[in-house]
Structures are given as C-alpha cells and as structure tokens.
Amino acid sequence: MADTEPQPRSVKQANKRGAARLAAVQALYQMDVGGTGLLETVTEYESYRLGQEIDGETYRDADAAWFRDVVSGVVRAQKSIDPLIHASLPTDWPLSRLDTTLRAILRAGCYELSARKDVPVAVIVSEYVDVAKAFYNDEEPKLVNAVLDRIARSERGEGKGRD
C-alpha cells in the first residue's frame, strides 16, 4: 500500500459524529504511516481539515470533540486495544498483517466499544462498517462487522453474532 493518505470513496452522507469517526480513522492512519504525533495531527485536522476545503474537496463539518476523543483515546489505550482486536481476528490474520487503514478502523471502533458505553453497540458497529465501506468494497467491511461484534460481546456482553 502506498504511503499516501487513503481517500474515501463516495458513500452516504455522515452526521457530525460520523464525519468525526471518518476523520479520526484518517488521522490514525496518518500517525501510523507518517509517524506524526498526537498533538500535531489533531491540530492539523482541527485547523485545516474538519469543515474546510482542500484541493476543491470540502471536508464535512465534524464534531471536533468527538474526533479528539477517538484519536487521543486510541493513542492512550492502544496497548489494551490491540490485544482485544488480535483476539477477535481469525487465527490466520494477526493484527500486524492488516492494512494500515483497516487497523485504524478497528482501533477506533474498539476504543469506542470499550470506552464509550454511552453509545449503543449497534451505532458504533454500523458507523465503523460505513467507514470501512468508504475505503473498501466487500470483505473488509464484513471483517470490521465481525471483529467489532466479537469485541462488543467480550467488552459489553452485547452483540449479534456467534463465537
């Protein structure tokens, strides 16, 4: 995969939290690939991307507080998030084998499932499946759905699927 920031395909319009989730995934990707720090990345997004026009593309207005919470929460909790994701992946797919964008999606979704108990599981899973659909066609959104559902069952005792 190239080291350029992933560009989402056109999908349904997101609400402000949905836009924040998409931006958080892009920021986490940027931090992972480019090695930029949390403060630098969050400041860049809040100053120059969220709700701004770049190269003729207008970024949807996003809930900046939600964006900050997800990005900083993933960074803060990554040592506990990654084992949860790894345990929820198929045995032949370790976390390190996943592409950077997919890893960012799963980390953000896992963070919300673990830390944002005020948000229903179905909303979190659905929103991150939609984010995955912005970047991928078929298998990856299904994987996001399955992994986040397993994490929801282990973290909250809720979920739709079976082990």
How does DSSP classify residue 7?
-
| Predicted structure pTM score | 0.83
Q: What whole-number percentage of the chain has pLDDT above 90?
A: 54
Tens digit of pLDDT for each residue in 2-35?
Answer: 455 555 544 444 588 888 999 899 999 999 998 8
Rounded Cα gap, residues 123 and 17, in angstroms:
11
Q: Give which of 24, 4, 147 is closest to 75, Cα–Cα.
A: 24
How does DSSP classify residue 11?
-
Rounded Cα gap, residues 45 and 150, in angstroms:
31
Higher pLDDT, 51 or 93: 93
Rounded Cα gap, residues 30 and 53, in angstroms:
19
Rounded Cα gap, residues 123 and 64, in angstroms:
19
Percent of the chain as helix, strand, coil, to the nearest 5: 65, 0, 30
- Return the structure tokens found at 148: 């986040």
Average the pLDDT over 64-74 and give the result. Answer: 93
> What pLDDT, on the 0 to 100 scale, is given for residue 5?
59
Query: Domains of the chain (ranges plus CATH)?
Result: 13-156 (1.10.940.10)
Residue 95 CA from chain centroid, whole number: 14
Tens digit of pLDDT for each residue in 118-153?
Answer: 999 999 999 999 999 999 988 999 999 999 999 999
What residues have CB less than 8 Å from 61, skipping those under 6 apart? 16, 19, 50, 51
